[in-house]
């Protein structure tokens, strides 16, 4: 009886599976819904992105002195209703929180918005660096809990896959909470500290340089060792007899490389460790690490396995450089054909500087990825598969917080979006734990009716422009 009496003073929130009982003046576990005078209210303001020329973008009056044209390109002044702060439809027996109508160039367009609760979700993190952060498939941890793993590396970048149901709900409660918190912070563009088993300590933040083992990464490599040879061979040829570009993937040796042969360079007789792929291109010259070119090498001379006295000569000029130009060394062979350090010549210094100039800044990129092919569709239509078919037929556009998404082929509605294109604090969570992400579906009224939409719940855009609506300037 005591429990019943206590609960009677509270209201129950049905915005997510946690189904909190919320006392008067208090918020639920997610901090997104509260009890105000016995009424369940949202605490996040519904957000609208204003596509306006006031965002700072210049317009070009291509219609000359036509007085009827006001400079509005592609309907740039049209406000766009996002799902941020819209609330959810869980448990999906009811229509989406906002189904709005808006006249767009004489066409009645419908936008359906909801904050989707995503258990089947995660982030893909791209870290621009050559440095070794851990083996592929190595576990990535936040505060000691497994939250994801290292994926296959891409050109000049390391990749992480974080989140997913195995970590959110398939492990311990602590693992789930840490996973959800890491995803939430990354999606909201905050810095997150991660560690990789038998690998590096990372600080990752969307749009910021990665910090690897306490060192801020500066540059993304210009190319692999072989590519670097190709790009700079003509600049090196008059000033040096051999160049070795140290790279964890492919280490290049100029006079063996096809570029050196085409330039008529004399073979230098300097052999490097590793497995030769093709002439002048070597795999596995060292272990991966945080040294030269993503290897564990600190002294580049350890790469040299042999100097052939039949080919090399005293005074031979040898440049060794990494793929970012951040590490370099210059040597002259003495009478015993032993490399001796020498000052870098101005011409070679300029070439090394040019390598660095051609490297792009190292950044972290975070893409949210979630599947909206489940019951979330019921908030849009009485016939959920109709929405899927409409999206696949390109009749319905899918956005997240107003940002363009990539919709994966195949079944369901699996979307991916760059969080940097989304408004601040666009993501939330529920204690399930799961991530809450905004998602919008936009189509013509005719198409909305055809897919079985909740047309009786359509209201005008003007009807949702309340005083507490948050408005943002569009970035584009």
Q: What is the pLDDT of residue 469?
A: 73
Query: Cα 6–7–10 angle (5° rounding)?
Result: 105
The percent of residues in the chain predicted with pLDDT above 70, rounded, is 89
CB burial of residue 234 (10 Å; 0-12, 13-18, 19+): exposed
Mean local confidence (pLDDT), 51-76: 52
- For the record, the structure tokens of 449 come out as 């009716």
What DSSP line would sit under 54-76, residue for residue?
Answer: GGS-----TTTT-TT--S-GGGT
pLDDT beyond 70 at 280: yes
* Confidence band of 74 (pLDDT split at 50, 70, 90): very low
pLDDT beyond 90 at 465: no
More confident residue, 475 or 256: 256
Per DSSP, what are the bridge partners of residue 141?
146, 195
Which of 263-299 are b and which e, b meaning 16 or more Cβ less than 10 Å from the residue's Cβ? eebebbbbbbebeeeeebbbeebbebbbbbbbbebee
pLDDT beyond 80 at 269: yes
Which helix (H) or strand (E) covers residue 112, if one does?
strand 107-118
Mean local confidence (pLDDT), 262-286: 94
Q: What is the pLDDT of residue 78?
A: 62
pLDDT beyond 70 at 98: yes
More confident residue, 17 or 25: 25
Q: What is the pLDDT of residue 474?
A: 59
- Three-class secondary structure of residue 116 per DSSP: strand
* Confidence band of 73 (pLDDT split at 50, 70, 90): very low
Task: Please state which of the ranges 9-18, 102-111, 152-161, 202-211 shows the lowest mean pLDDT.
Answer: 9-18
pLDDT beyond 70 at 51: no
pLDDT beyond 80 at 348: yes
SS3 per-residue string spanning 346-386: HHHHHHHHHHHHCCCECCEEEEEEEECCCHHHHHCECCHHH
pLDDT beyond 80 at 70: no
Q: How far apart are the first and last CA of the chain?
A: 58
- For the record, the structure tokens of 120 come out as 């089947």
Q: What is the pLDDT of residue 352?
A: 95
Spans of all domains in the chain: 1-43, 78-120+373-473, 138-213, 225-361
pLDDT beyond 60 at 75: no
Q: Is 412 left (phi over 0), alpha (psi -120 to 50) or beta?
A: left
pTM: 0.81
- Three-class secondary structure of residue 6 per DSSP: helix
Mean local confidence (pLDDT), 378-386: 91
Residue range 389-406, pLDDT digits in tens = 999 999 999 999 999 999
Mean local confidence (pLDDT), 92-102: 87
How distant, in Å, are the alpha carbons of 199, 214, 355, 431, 462 from that of 120?
Answer: 27, 32, 42, 15, 34
Residue range 146-205, pLDDT digits in tens = 999 999 998 889 999 999 999 999 999 999 999 999 999 999 999 999 999 999 999 999
- For the record, the structure tokens of 475 come out as 């970035």
Mean local confidence (pLDDT), 249-271: 95
Residue range 290-337, pLDDT digits in tens = 899 989 999 999 999 999 999 999 999 999 999 999 999 999 999 999
E strands, 9-57, in order:
10-12, 21-23, 33-36, 39-42, 47-50
pLDDT beyond 50 at 2: no
- CA atoms of 61 and 75, how far apart (whole Å): 14
Dihedral in degrees, nearest 10, Cα atoms 452, 454, 456, 460: -120
What DSSP line would sit under 300-348, residue for residue?
Answer: GGGGEEEE-TTT--TT-EEEEEETTSSSEEEEEE-TTS-EEE-PPPHHH
Q: What is the pLDDT of residue 130?
A: 84
Q: What is the pLDDT of residue 66?
A: 52
More confident residue, 338 or 130: 338
Mean local confidence (pLDDT), 11-22: 83
Q: What is the pLDDT of residue 108?
A: 93
- CA atoms of 139 and 148, how far apart (whole Å): 6
Q: What is the pLDDT of residue 42?
A: 85
């Amino acid at each position: 009886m005591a429990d019943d009496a206590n609960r009677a003073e509270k209201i129950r929130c049905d915005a997510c599976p946690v189904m909190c009982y919320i006392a008067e003046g208090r918020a639920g576990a997610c901090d997104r819904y509260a009890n105000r005078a016995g009424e369940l209210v949202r605490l996040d303001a519904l957000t609208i992105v204003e596509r306006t020329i006031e965002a700072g973008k210049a317009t070009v009056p291509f219609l000359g002195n036509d007085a009827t044209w006001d400079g509005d390109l592609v309907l740039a002044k049209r406000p766009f209703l996002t799902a941020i702060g819209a609330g959810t439809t869980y448990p999906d027996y009811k229509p989406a929180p906002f189904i709005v109508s808006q006249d767009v160039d004489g066409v009645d367009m419908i936008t359906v918005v909801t904050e989707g609760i995503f258990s089947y979700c995660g982030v893909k993190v791209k870290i621009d660096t050559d440095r070794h952060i851990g083996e592929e498939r190595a576990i990535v941890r936040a505060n000691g809990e497994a939250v994801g793993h290292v994926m296959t590396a891409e050109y000049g970048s390391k990749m992480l896959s974080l989140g997913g149901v195995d970590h959110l709900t398939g492990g311990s409660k602590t693992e789930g909470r840490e996973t959800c918190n890491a995803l939430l912070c990354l999606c909201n563009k905050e810095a997150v500290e991660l560690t990789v088993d038998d690998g590096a300590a990372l600080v990752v933040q969307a749009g910021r340089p990665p910090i690897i083992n306490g060192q801020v990464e500066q540059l993304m490599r210009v190319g692999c060792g072989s590519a670097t040879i190709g790009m700079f061979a003509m600049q090196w040829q008059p000033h040096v007899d051999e160049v070795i570009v140290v790279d964890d993937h492919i280490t290049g040796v100029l006079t063996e490389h096809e570029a050196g042969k085409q330039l008529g360079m004399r073979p230098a007789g300097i052999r490097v460790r590793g497995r030769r792929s093709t002439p002048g291109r070597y795999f596995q010259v060292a272990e991966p690490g945080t040294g030269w070119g993503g290897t564990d090498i600190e002294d580049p001379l350890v790469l040299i396995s042999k100097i052939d006295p039949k080919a090399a000569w005293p005074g031979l000029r040898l440049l060794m450089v990494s793929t970012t130009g951040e590490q370099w060394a210059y040597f002259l062979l003495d009478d015993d054909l032993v490399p001796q350090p020498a000052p870098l010549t101005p011409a070679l210094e300029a070439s090394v500087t040019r390598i660095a100039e051609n490297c792009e800044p190292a950044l972290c990129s975070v893409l949210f990825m979630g599947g909206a092919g489940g019951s979330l569709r019921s908030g849009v239509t009485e016939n959920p598969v109709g929405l899927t078919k409409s999206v696949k037929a390109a009749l319905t556009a899918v956005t997240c917080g107003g940002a363009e998404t990539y919709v994966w082929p195949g079944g369901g509605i699996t979307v991916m979006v760059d969080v940097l294109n989304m408004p601040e604090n666009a993501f939330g969570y529920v204690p399930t734990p799961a991530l809450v992400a905004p998602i919008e579906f936009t189509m013509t009224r005719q198409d909305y009716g055809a897919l079985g939409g909740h047309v009786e719940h359509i209201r005008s855009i003007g009807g949702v422009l309340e005083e507490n609506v948050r408005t943002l300037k569009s970035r584009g």
